[in-house]
Amino acid sequence: MADITSPPAHNGVQANGRIREGLAEVLPIEGNKVFYNNVQVFNRDTSVLALNVFESWRKEHAPPGRAGRALTEELKKTNEGLTVFEAMAASGLRSVRYTKEVKNLKHVVVNDLDEKAADNIKANLKHNCIPETIAEASHSDCIRHMQHNDLAYDVIDLDPYGSASPFLDGALNSVRNGGLLCVTCTDSAVLCGNHTDVCYYRYGGTAPKAKYCHELALRLMLHAISSAAGRRKRAIVPLLSLSIDFYYRVFVRVIDSPKDCGNLAADTSLLLQCVNCEWHELSPLAQPKSEKNANLKPGTLLGQHGGTTPPATCPVCKGRLVMGGPCWTGPLHDASFVSAMLTESSDAQHKTEKYPGITAWKKVHGLLTAVSMELPGSPLLYTLDGLMSITRAPNCPLQKFKNTLINLGYKVSHFHREP
């Protein structure tokens, strides 16, 4: 048995063959080296912090509507903890960390389709002194499990090997109003435009080859999630969207709101990209309701109110245009949620005492700082070398270029993966 209260000197395989990470210890699996991925330590550290912040943040940010407000008031009164479903748990390392490092956690279902993995999960839960009332091992098809457990969980964590798209419908059926989806996709080659056909049938959109491919990958993921949610008259609120190393990770709140579903088309755009230069243009499918058009019905097509005709060739270099998308062009992050996470990661003494299992604080804080500086409402990016090649101008330091734009009255930011 291992009741660990402090993190190891280094994450990973220890001298005794066991795997240590955070406050969790996982028993070795003879002849199997697939179950532990050291690169994903940052993913799990970020997830532990996100769940801790979400547990308190949700009590101050009610889902829209009377039912959402009533739900939040009930949470404040009862202080009921989070119920979590990890769909593809493998060794159960992530869930063990959740049970030991997430405050006010009510129950975790740790699932895997493989019978040996499920047995190993049971052994690891027992080894880490986690009672069955807090966490239970499950051996089932996660899609069927989620389809047969309607509105059962506050948090559903999808971290498959490859694409999460096959699991989205089930997850959106099983997550509660105001709940959280934590979704990872590792098929970056598909999301970055190397396999257009595969990208379309997985995510419902395509990605042209471009230097903003990592941001577009996140937006294609969010498009797939929002489309699946819309079929259930549910809407999404992206809280945090990250492009890290070889994978993409999004934290998305799901709300029951047919009204917000009506604005889904306004948050979805087609993309035109020049094949010769970096010029691109996004064309929303509908007009958003705003102060200027307060009487506009949600989902009104642009063409009905003066929508523009897309150009036949690139307006900069007259090059050929290719089409991509549709993709999500709403916000990638929620400012209040990112701010709450950033606050938790700022105080050195506080964070060490409150989250003793998190070890990648420097990277977590740096990435959250970069995210907090991104401009909202400015989807897709340009690169400096790409702009200079279009104008045939000599390159210059990036910070100098940014300062020049700011002095000219423009707002400038970066994408967190490419600061």
pLDDT digits (tens, 9 = 90+) for 133-188: 999 999 999 999 999 999 999 999 999 999 999 999 999 999 999 999 999 999 99
In this structure, which amino acid lies at residue 348?
Answer: A
For domain 13-265+330-385, give the CATH superfamily: Vaccinia Virus protein VP39 (3.40.50.150)
pLDDT band at 385 (very low <50, low <70, confident <90, very high): confident
Q: What is the pLDDT of residue 419?
A: 63
Report the chain's mean pLDDT, rounded to a whole number. Answer: 89
Q: What is the pLDDT of residue 175?
A: 97
Reported as a single tens digit per residue, the pLDDT across 225-251 is: 999 999 999 999 999 999 998 999 999
Show the tokens assigned to 173: 């059926």
Q: pTM here?
A: 0.93
Residues 184 and 202: their CA atoms lie apart, in Å, by: 14
Rounded to 10°, the helix 361-372/335-344 angle is 150
Q: Where are the domains of the chain?
A: 13-265+330-385
Q: What are phi and psi of 32, to 5 degrees?
A: -130, 115
Q: What is the pLDDT of residue 35?
A: 56
User: Between 291 and 14, whose confidence is greater?
Assistant: 14
Reported as a single tens digit per residue, the pLDDT across 337-356 is: 999 999 999 876 677 788 99
Q: Span 292-296, mean pLDDT?
A: 62
Contacts of 411 (CB under 8 A, 6+ apart): 375, 378
Q: Span 105-125, mean pLDDT?
A: 95
Q: What are phi and psi of 116, to 5 degrees?
A: -65, -40
User: Between 124 and 259, whose confidence is greater?
Assistant: 124
Identify the weakest region by mean pLDDT among 107-116, 185-194, 374-383.
374-383
Identify the weakest region by mean pLDDT among 75-79, 203-207, 350-354.
350-354
Q: What is the pLDDT of residue 2?
A: 60
Is a pLDDT exceeding 80 seen at residue 198?
yes
Show the tokens assigned to 406: 């700011």
3-class DSSP state of 132 = coil
